[in-house]
Amino acid sequence: SGTVRLAVIPGDGIGPEVTAEALKVLEAAAPAGVKFEPTRYDLGAERYLATGEVLPDSVLEEVRGQDAILLGAVGGRPGDPNLPPGILERGLLLRLRFELDHYVNLRPSRIFPGAVSPLRPEITGHPGEVDFVVVREGTEGPYTGNGGAVRVGTPHEVATEVSLNTAYGVERVVRDAFARARRRPRRKLTLVHKTNVLVNAGKVWSRLVDEVGREFPEVAVDYLHVDAATIFLATDPRRFDVIVTDNLFGDILTDLAAAITGGIGLAASGNINPDRTAPSMFEPVHGSAPDIAGQQKADPTAAILSASLLLDHLGYADAAAAVERAVVADLAERTPGATRRTAEIGDAVAARVGG
């Protein structure tokens, strides 16, 4: 029991629409005696365009003091000349992930009964057989902004984006992935990388998987190059249990994972700080979807399942499971081809959780 102080960052596009539904469900799922105390932070394109602010230090410090963060999506309208790409993505989303040390970007990928996979049934097997989790490194790789450009705009322009891989950073995420694999029934870990080309980074990832793996003898270890991993995600996704991979490979693989497990509207994520030195942040895998924003067309399920991950992280496993069950029941009742408004889905799931 007690109060959970929640930072809510609805953000841009469909972010506010799906976050409203996730909050609704979260409140309906709150265990007896637990009260969520949301504080809303208006960060994103609108704030930036009006004030030039992306994430003021004072706001970051306030957010750091909360128990958890629920985020919708960030990213403005494509082609807006006043909002160059990267300003919000780097300045807001990645800054939060880096500053709050979200080194485990957790992206569960499961075909729920009732979800519609584009893969044939021979490939997916029974509902529940495709059930893996991507442990995406969240603080390093090519995302750190370690690069630059010279002679910009000339035919002689040279641009670099250097991938950063520290033994410290790789070891901690690999250990977390092994620990997760050990808790799962199949106890299998697949390292996904590109060690045949990115040999420097590849060596540190391979070595640390070998070394840390010795502490987890009950976990079977497998390796795939990232290009081959995309083949198997489409042709044999049942082979995966825990995938551990770098920041960029994990970004790409998890959109594919979302597509094969029923669509980007269902894919949830947690940006976890396993050491709990700062609040973890929960958000759908998808972006601000400017093409459907403001029309109540977005599926809030990904945001709702992210709220379930939040509950689980805070230790409310029963409430988290209740949200998941409510989503599964909602998916099972969907009529293929029929559309429901964002709020309708949220209301339906909240009612099931409450009931």
Catalytic residue set: 143, 194, 227, 251, 255
Is residue 251 part of the contact set for ligand IPM (CB under 6 A)?
A: yes
Residue recorded with tokens 């060690």: 195
Distance from the Cα of residue 303 to its chain's centroid:
10
CA distances from 157 to 84, 147, 162 (A): 19, 13, 16
94 binds, among ligand IPM, Mn ion, ligand NAD, none (CB under 5 to 8 A by kind): ligand IPM
Which CB atom, from 29 or from 73, has the smaller least distance to ligand IPM?
Answer: 73
Residue recorded with tokens 């641009």: 159
The correct pick among 25, 111, 302, 348 for binding ligand NAD (CB under 6 A) is 302
The correct pick among 169, 265, 279, 346 for binding ligand NAD (CB under 6 A) is 265
Copy the structure tokens of residue 332: 């099972």
- Taking CB under 6 A as the criterion, which residues in 166-185 touch ligand IPM? none
Copy the structure tokens of residue 16: 């506010």
The correct pick among 94, 191, 208, 257 for binding ligand IPM (CB under 6 A) is 94
Residue type, 267: A
CA distance 74 to 48: 11
Is residue 307 part of the contact set for ligand NAD (CB under 6 A)?
A: no
Beta-carbon contacts of 151 under 8 Å, excluding residues fewer than 6 positions away, are 157, 158
CA distance 202 to 70: 33
Site pattern 56..85 for ligand NAD (x: CB under 6 A): -----------------xxx----------
Q: By CB neighbour count within 10 A (0-12 exposed, 13-18 middle, 19+ buried), where does 297 fall?
A: middle
* 336 close to 14: Cβ distance less than 8 angstroms: no
* 3 close to 37: Cβ distance less than 8 angstroms: yes
Q: How far is the CB of 215 from ligand IPM (least distance, A)?
A: 29
Is 68 annotated to bind a ligand? Reply is no
- Taking CB under 5 A as the criterion, which residues in 208-247 touch Mn ion? none
Question: Collapsing DSSP states into helix, strand and coil, what is residue 308?
Answer: helix
Is 176 annotated to bind a ligand? Reply is no
Q: How far is the CB of 44 from ligand NAD (least distance, A)?
A: 9
Is residue 191 part of the contact set for ligand NAD (CB under 6 A)?
A: no
> Partners of 272 in the beta sheet?
104
Is residue 131 part of the contact set for Mn ion (CB under 5 A)?
A: no
Choices 2-10, 216-224, 298-306, 309-317 (CB under 6 A): range interacting with ligand NAD? 298-306
* 115 close to 129: Cβ distance less than 8 angstroms: no
Is residue 25 part of the contact set for ligand NAD (CB under 6 A)?
A: no
* Annotated binding-site positions for NAD(+): 287-299
Contact set with ligand NAD (CB under 6 A)? 14, 18, 73-75, 89, 93, 264-265, 283, 286-292, 298-299, 302
* Annotated binding-site positions for Mg(2+): 227, 251, 255
Contact set with ligand IPM (CB under 6 A)? 89, 93-94, 251, 285, 287
